[in-house]
Structures are given as C-alpha cells and as structure tokens.
A and B are shown apart, each in its own frame.
Chain A
Amino acid sequence: MNIKLKIWRQKNQDSEGHFEEYSMTGIEEHMSFLEVLDLLNEQLFAEGEEPVAFDSDCREGICGQCGVVINGQAHGPIRSTTCQLHMRHLAEDPSFKDGSTITIEPWRSTGFPVLKDLIVDRSALDRIVQAGGYISVNTGAAPEAHSVPVQKDKADAAFEAAACIGCGACVAACPNASAMLFTGAKISHLGLLPQGQPERLARVVNMLNQHDAEGFGGCTNIGECAAVCPKSVPLEVITRLNRDLGHALWKGQKATA
C-alpha cells in the first residue's frame, strides 16, 4: 500500500515545531508501525535529509519507551503499544484507503517536554515514584517469602495494576493531562499487598503532591486514560487512589520527607 505520513518535526526543546509530510510506497500490511518509520528514515537518509527521531527499545510492548499519538489517538487505533501496532491494524479502518495520510505527533502534555521530533521527556513519572512509589525494605532484611501469605485475588489485582509500563499514554490521552492512572496504578499495586500497608497513607499523599507539582492536571473521570492504556490498567485504580487519599486526609496524614 501507499501512504502519506504527516509527522511533527522539532529540532530540540527550545525550537518551534511543525508538521512535515512524506510519501511512502510499497508498505506491506504485516510491517509494524515502527518498522515503517525505520523505512521512512532510510528513505530520508537516501534523500539527504535528517531522519525522524523517535523512541523505542524492546519493540515487544513491554519496556514502555515507545509511544506517539497516531491520528489523534495515543498509540494509535488499537489498544497496544506503538511498537505492537501493525499496518494491518490501521488498514482495518474502513476510512483507510491507499494513499491515506497518517498523522504522527509526540505525546502532548506540558509535563512531557519535547526533546526532539517525536521524543519527549517523561522523567516526571520517575519523580512521582521517587516520592513514595516503593516499599521500604533494605536488601537482605526481608522475611521468608512464605511468612506472609497473600490472598490470590488480591495478588492478581495487584498484578493487574503493576502491569503499568509507564509509557505515558494515559497522560497524552487525558484532556487535563492528568497522570492519575499511572499514579493510581502504583498506589493500587502496593496498597493491595500486605507488604505495602505501613506506608500506604503517606504514600498516597506524597505521590499526589509530586504529581501536582509536576504540572499534571487533576482527574475529571473522563476515562480516556484507561481506554488507551496498552496494559489495560483499570480505571478503578483511580477510585482506589481517591479512597486512600480520603482516608489519609481524614486521618490527618501529612506529607513525609
């Protein structure tokens, strides 16, 4: 098939960006979306132009490094990471015809400044984790693993939340650029386990403070985040976050150092 790509080009964080259009021919439907970008870059190279910078690493849908907005949707039309999107998935759309234009933009959020072309800086998410997204246990200080049984349904629910890969699609899809799905996923993962109880209330206060300080917006229950999440992290994690926050405020939990 033949396609046109309309891609955001931006030299660096300080410069203005703009869209450029490129035509490609001979695209096969079992190519992955990123392989099409690889091919575009070979084409640009041959034409003496600079290739498009984009992030990807594992290309197996698990590392969370890739991610762009495709035709207005984070990670594109199917619920997956950008690296797991294949051209056949785009071609399934009835409006997709030979010669269709695909628009590709970086994640859109003030919390994620653009570094170059399609690459953004997502370090804000790490700082939210630094604020309390862990269980404080020093190496070698752990009790025998079987000394604390965990109810299977709790462990499974914790796993569902822990499946978050930190790709940032939830932020990019949210009209308020909220990172609440990401933060709620961590709070649920740790809060559902017996090991996570001692720090549970301090965790939610500290992480939310950092979330707000990074410039992410509040949640208004639109649900776009969960709809695009490639790992199907459920919207309930935000409910759980809010419940823990309410509990923390009621208990007078202050932020801790």
Chain B
Amino acid sequence: MTELIDGLYREGEKIADTKAPHDVPIAQRWEQRKFNANLVNPANRRKLDVIVVGSGLAGGAAAASLGEQGYNVKCFFYQDSARRAHSIAAQGGINAAKNYRNDGDSVYRLFYDTVKGGDYRAREDNVYRLAEVSAAIIDQCVAQGVPFAREYGGLLDNRSFGGVQVSRTFYARGQTGQQLLIGAYQALERQVRAGTVKEYRRHEMVELIVIDGRARGIVTRDMVTGEIATHLADAVVLCTGGYGNVFFLSTNAMGCNATAIWRAHRKGAYFANPCYTQIHPTCIPQSGDFQSKLTLMSESLRNDGRIWVPKRAEDCDKDPRDIPEEDRDYYLERIYPAFGNLVPRDIASRQAKNMCDEGRGVGPAIKERDAQGNERMMRRGVYLDFSEAIGRLGRDAVSARYGNLFEMYQRITGDDPYEVPMRIYPAVHYTMGGLWVDYDLESNIPGLYVAGEANFSDHGANRLGASALMQGLADGYFVLPDTLNDYLADMLREGKVDPDAPEIAEARKSVEDRIDRLMALRGTRSVDDFHMALGRIMWEYCGMERREEGLREAIGQIRALKEEFWRDARITGEAMELNQALEKAGRLLDFFELAELMCIDALHRRESCGGHFRAESQTPEGEALRHDDEFLYVAAWEWGGENQPPILHKEDLIYKDIELKQRSYK
C-alpha cells in the first residue's frame, strides 16, 4: 500500500475481473461462461437459501427467477408492496437490439453505443452481454403481458432515445418502468403463491453478515415494529438501486438510499466509481426552498420537443410566445447538428447549465450560492417547446405520445404545455457508480452479488436513456440465475452456517448500538435539516461541474456537518415503533460517509468523462476531455476503517473490440 496521496487516500493492489472467458471472442463469452458454470440439480435447489434485497426490476426479476428455479428465496424491501420499487417511475422506455425497424441495429451497435455513451469507462464484457440478452427481455415481458405500445399491424412499436441514431426503444406510453415492474412483480407474486419466495415488506437491511470471508446473511429492521432480526442464507443479492438522494434533491423516490450497499462496503465490498452521477437534462425546475424532490420529464420528449433559450438575455422574462423565431437559440441543434435535441444526457445537461450561466436561462429567478458562498439570483430553466410538433402532427397525435407527461407537468407547474413551452432544467437522476462486481455480478466478498443500479458495471461514466431498465431486467432475469448457480453449487458442499457464529451476534449488536446512539441524541435540529445541508454541499461542489478547490472544500464541510449532526441532531419517537425520523437518520449517516468518498473519487479523477465534468479538463469547445493515458480504469475503493483514509484499487479497462475515441456527437 502506498503513502497517503493528496492527504486523502492510499493506493492498494490492482484488481481484475477474472470470470469472463477471454480465450473466446466477445460474442461467445457469455455462452462459454454459462457452459463452464457449475449447476445445482433441481432437487438440491430447495436446500439453498438466497436473500434478495430490493424488489425493483433487478431484485424483483432475480427473486422471481431464482424462485422459479427452485431456490428458497427471501425478498426484502422497504416499501409496503414489492410493486412500488423506484423502477416504477422510469418513464421513457427500454432498449433492445431487435432491429424491428430494419434501420441497421444489431447487438454490436447497441454494445458500441453504450460504451461510447458511457464515455469509455464501462467494461466491454459486461456491456456486450447486456446488448446480447436485451432481445430476450422483450420476449419475456411480452409473454408476461406487458402492454407495450403497438402498431396497427399488431407488432411492437419503437422510438428513438438520446445518444443513438436507430429506433430501438420499446415503450408503454410514458409509463414503461411501471409496466415492466408490474410484469416482474406479478412473476414475483406468482412465486410467493408457489411458496418459493417469502416477502418481507417494510423491512430495511441495516447490516451485512460476513462469516469466514463470505456473505452469509443480513440484519434487518422491521419498519413497523422496530424489531431487529438476522436472516442467514447461502448467498446475498443486493438490488437496492442508486444513491442519488445523497444530494437530497433528486429524481429518486424519497426512500431511495445507500444503506445496504454502504453497509456491505464497510464490511469489505469495494465501491466503484462513486463520483459518476448522471444529471438528467429534462426535469421540472426547482420552484422553492420547501421542495422535497425533483420530477423528471421523460427524455422521450426530446424526440419532438425543441429546446431553446432566447438569444438575448433581455428577452428572458418575456412570454416565450412573444419571442419571434429569429430571436430564439435552438442551441443543441446549432452545436450538434447530427444529434440535435437527442444528444446524450450529459451533453444536453451541461449545455443547459452553460446557457443559464450565460444569463440566458428562463423562468423565475431562484436564490443560489456561488462557489465563493455569495448569494445570487439565477434563472435556472430552458424551454422545451412543442409548438412546432403540434403544428406538424396535430394536437391529438402529440397528446397520444406524451399526453400523460403533459398532464403531469401541468399538475405540478400550473402551466399548460400545449399552450406555453415547458421549462426544464437538469437534476440528479441516476448513479452509475456502485459496488464493484465481476462478470458474474459477484462483489469481491464471495457470496455477495450486486445487480441493477446498485452495481457499477454497465454504464461507464454516463448512462444512455432507456438502458437502466434494460440492465435491471438483464441482470435479474438472465445473468444472476446463471451465475449464482456456480457459487451455490459450492455452497451445497460447504454446508450451512452455524447460527451461533459470533459474527452474527456482532452484526446485530452493531445495529442496536447505532440505534441506541441515535435515539440518545438530544440536539435541536431535525434529520431532514441535516440532509438538506448535505445536499446543498454536494450539488454545489460535486454536482454538474467539479473543481479541485471546490471538492476539497466539500470534504471539509461534510466532515464538519457530520460532527455537527452528532452534536445537534434529535430523533423524535421511540426505537421500537414505526419511526420515520429514525429510518432517515440511519440512512443519512451512511450518506455522510458516501458523500465524502464521492468527493475523494471526483478529486482524484483529474479528467472529465461522461457525468463527471472536471472544469480543469475540457476541450477548447467546452466538451468533456478524458485522459485515457492516466485514468483508463475503474476506481474501486476499499473501506479503510473508521476515520481512516480509503484505499484505491484500480481495475484497468481494456478495449479490444471498440476503439477508444474522443466522443463526438457533432
């Protein structure tokens, strides 16, 4: 291990993903891996217990599929029903390389677009497999009764999404995530009925149990009774989504949190690329200080909506309908003529910020602080205008495509988007970082598997639209059911864990101690108050644009805020009852530590790539400038211990099937 670097971290051994068979070409690796994997015979499967945490697209699909195979599955989730996981909120669609449009799509092209879209920071093997299994996902969902949009001939319809030039996105109006999740949920409930899956609703995983270096169970808190319980298993699968709520304001559901993956990280699981945060360009702008979350408008709107700001700052407070065509700047179409309004999310987001920073933003001015802490009033919004589409297609056709989104926008803002252009602004949406996994989706802790947004593997530094749903279902339906066999076959020989193992009691005690410590706080500030303060630090210094001095400032502020929390927070109610303040406090403690690691990761990566934009590293045109000679690796961080610096392990990214290029959408 190296000396302390930058006063912040140490560097450890390099790591590698050793499970993908590199002796065969990329197109054969997944088949080869499945063939090489050990199998568990059907009669033995019921002897093996698998814990799945999360019931979204990855977790729900994994629990259902593993249940179908005959394993004993326990599925835990914090909502009151498995159907409410946040995958449900995804609006736009799911990609699949079906080439139903005969427009040149293929597995290789989906693979290529995803690697390029991720700014060459994703692992080739995983992305190729994702593209490979994508077509089977559509078949599976259709067979389950997912009511995808159809053409009059009865076949499936498609549309196009940002960052690509083919129509490969399958959709169900603006509720694709909901419909796919309902499909997975129904498959899951079928297994509950069959007795292979047991659901634990309103249960939160609060600790991972590791025995002899293997993941052997979890500690949970029953959110209704407060009861702490331990659950043992032969393997643990985390499908707990992303950690965007570290920013407080994001498009994530209120309950989305990092506790499950952060607890696993503290038990030894590496956390990869934590700084890769996707800022989504089409969200409804913030309207006040009381706001609890930000609402996303589907990226599919960019198919027909045209994005613009006034050419002159003095026009910004005019009614947009009174600004003539020649005074409008359709800046995406101007700068990126080949992709126009359909450039990838990181590029669309950054340009919206640039327009507002230039003083050409629209909508009400809101109070914000600049990097020096000075307050200023800024307009944070750009127009997403459908007037041209309504003229071309008619109001009814636009309504058939986007009606529910227009309704939602009107309900929230009070403005009618059929009459006045929508106002949008980027917001924190998806986190590409997550626990490090190998080709089998196994973390560096044997027996701990991580899927969907909770892992890091498939999107690199930026995620293309309609790819999150694809990855969740690919992992849950088609990857884990095959890779877990290999591990479980070993566990059949290994035998069950001793329920009296000291590690189990220790894990439980650490949870109880933490809760006791929280309940003993007698300060004056609420948990939400601290969370908002953390969010402001993160958005200011580790948000759309990061700078060396800002990130250092943020690390200091986060540490101070955490100390302040232990001095001045107070939790109302009691531990052994339904207590939402206590739930939030536990999650916030993990967010404090994760936030610091995000800043350290962002600081050490002195390049720009995808959703990580370091102001010091840009091309003369203001685009993200990578430094492949220095940073062509996954940054996998090891927990260094309480108040100890983390340890960086690098996994080199090797591109053999795709040529590394400066990304261009012009």
Residues of A within 8 A of B152 (CB): 152
The A134-157 residues at the B interface (CB cut-off 8 A) are 134-146, 148-152, 155-156
Residues of B within 8 A of A116 (CB): 224, 577-578
Residue among A50, A63, A119, A144 with the most chain B CB within 10 A? Answer: A63
Against A, the Cβ 8 Å flags (1 = close, 0 = not) of B169-192 are 000110101110010011101101
Residues of B within 8 A of A143 (CB): 139, 143
Q: Judging by beta carbons under 8 Å apart, are A115 and B143 in contact? A: no
The A177-201 residues at the B interface (CB cut-off 8 A) are 189-190, 193, 195-196
Of B289-297, B314-322, B419-427, which binds chain A? B289-297
Q: Judging by beta carbons under 8 Å apart, are B291 and A35 in contact? A: yes
CA distance A166 to B192 in the complex (A): 18
Q: Judging by beta carbons under 8 Å apart, are B136 and A51 in contact? A: no
Residues of B within 8 A of A155 (CB): 147-150
Q: Judging by beta carbons under 8 Å apart, are A159 and B81 in contact? A: no
Number of A interface residues, CB 8 Å? 74
CA distance A130 to B64 in the complex (A): 13
Residues of A within 8 A of B185 (CB): 129
Q: Judging by beta carbons under 8 Å apart, are A35 and B292 in contact? A: yes
Q: Which of B68, B88, B199, B412 contacts A86 (CB 8 A)?
A: B412
Against B, the Cβ 8 Å flags (1 = close, 0 = not) of A122-137 are 1101100111011111
Closest B residue, CB atoms, query A146? B155
Q: Which of B79, B156, B175 contacts A57 (CB 8 A)?
A: B79
Q: Which of B79, B151, B190, B295 contacts A152 (CB 8 A)?
A: B151
Contacts A84-B411, A134-B189, A146-B100; A57 near B84 (Cβ below 8 A): yes
Q: Judging by beta carbons under 8 Å apart, are B83 and A64 in contact? A: yes
Whether B32 is near chain A, meaning CB under 8 Å from some CB there, is no
Residues of A within 8 A of B521 (CB): none
* Min distance, Cβ A63 to any Cβ of chain B, angstroms: 4
Q: How many A-B pairs with Cβ below 8 Å? A: 214
Q: Judging by beta carbons under 8 Å apart, are A137 and B178 in contact? A: no
Q: Judging by beta carbons under 8 Å apart, are B154 and A152 in contact? A: yes
Whether B639 is near chain A, meaning CB under 8 Å from some CB there, is no
* Min distance, Cβ B167 to any Cβ of chain A, angstroms: 15
Q: Judging by beta carbons under 8 Å apart, are B186 and A139 in contact? A: no
Q: Judging by beta carbons under 8 Å apart, are B65 and A65 in contact? A: no
Whether B86 is near chain A, meaning CB under 8 Å from some CB there, is yes
Residues of A within 8 A of B25 (CB): none
The B45-88 residues at the A interface (CB cut-off 8 A) are 61, 64-65, 68, 79-84, 86, 88
Contacts A62-B175, A115-B578; A134 near B140 (Cβ below 8 A): no
Residues of A within 8 A of B528 (CB): 38, 42
Q: Which of A34, A59, A146, A151 contacts B156 (CB 8 A)?
A: A146
Whether A227 is near chain B, meaning CB under 8 Å from some CB there, is no
Contacts A58-B88, A63-B86, A150-B150; A34 near B292 (Cβ below 8 A): yes
Whether A31 is near chain B, meaning CB under 8 Å from some CB there, is yes
Q: Judging by beta carbons under 8 Å apart, are A122 and B175 in contact? A: no
Against A, the Cβ 8 Å flags (1 = close, 0 = not) of B418-451 are 0000000000000000000000000000000000
CA distance A143 to B526 in the complex (A): 54
Whether B239 is near chain A, meaning CB under 8 Å from some CB there, is no
Against B, the Cβ 8 Å flags (1 = close, 0 = not) of A24-48 are 0000101110110011001001000
Residues of B within 8 A of A123 (CB): 80-81, 201
Residue among A11, A49, A152, A190 with the most chain B CB within 10 A? Answer: A152
Whether A97 is near chain B, meaning CB under 8 Å from some CB there, is no
Q: Judging by beta carbons under 8 Å apart, are A122 and B292 in contact? A: no
Q: Which of A53, A60, A150 contacts B578 (CB 8 A)?
A: A53
Contacts A126-B81, A152-B151; A140 near B477 (Cβ below 8 A): yes
Number of B interface residues, CB 8 Å? 80
Q: Which of B68, B142, B175, B288 contacts A28 (CB 8 A)?
A: B288
Whether B335 is near chain A, meaning CB under 8 Å from some CB there, is no
Against A, the Cβ 8 Å flags (1 = close, 0 = not) of B522-558 are 0000101100000000000000000000000000000
Residues of B within 8 A of A140 (CB): 136, 140, 477-478, 481
Q: Which of B186, B290, B292, B412 contacts A134 (CB 8 A)?
A: B186
Residues of A within 8 A of B145 (CB): 134-135, 158, 162, 189-190, 193, 195-196
* Min distance, Cβ A44 to any Cβ of chain B, angstroms: 8
* Min distance, Cβ A198 to any Cβ of chain B, angstroms: 12
Contacts A42-B526, A57-B253; A51 near B581 (Cβ below 8 A): yes
Residues of B within 8 A of A126 (CB): 81-83, 189, 192, 199, 201
Closest A residue, CB atoms, query B287? A30
Whether B573 is near chain A, meaning CB under 8 Å from some CB there, is yes
CA distance A158 to B179 in the complex (A): 11
Residue among B190, B201, B291, B296 with the most chain A CB within 10 A? Answer: B190
Residues of A within 8 A of B44 (CB): none
Residues of A within 8 A of B186 (CB): 129, 133-135
Q: Which of B136, B140, B142, B478 contacts A148 (CB 8 A)?
A: B142
The 18 listed contacts between A and B (C-beta, < 8 Å) are A38-B290, A53-B578, A115-B578, A119-B578, A121-B80, A130-B190, A134-B189, A135-B143, A135-B144, A135-B145, A136-B190, A137-B140, A139-B61, A145-B141, A146-B155, A149-B153, A151-B154, A159-B173
Which of B's residues lie within 8 Å of A, judged by CB?
A: 61, 64-65, 68, 79-84, 86, 88-89, 98, 100, 136, 138-145, 147-156, 172-173, 175, 177-179, 182, 185-187, 189-190, 192-193, 199, 201, 224, 253-255, 287-288, 290-293, 295-296, 408, 411-414, 477-478, 481, 526, 528-529, 570, 572-573, 577-578, 580-581
A119-B578, A140-B477, A163-B178 given. 20 additional CB < 8 A pairs? A31-B290, A34-B292, A35-B290, A50-B573, A55-B80, A58-B88, A61-B408, A62-B175, A63-B86, A64-B83, A84-B408, A116-B224, A122-B81, A123-B201, A130-B190, A142-B139, A152-B150, A152-B154, A159-B172, A162-B179
Q: What 8 A-B pairs are tightest by C-beta distance, nearest first?
A: A149-B154, A142-B143, A134-B186, A159-B147, A142-B139, A145-B142, A57-B253, A139-B65
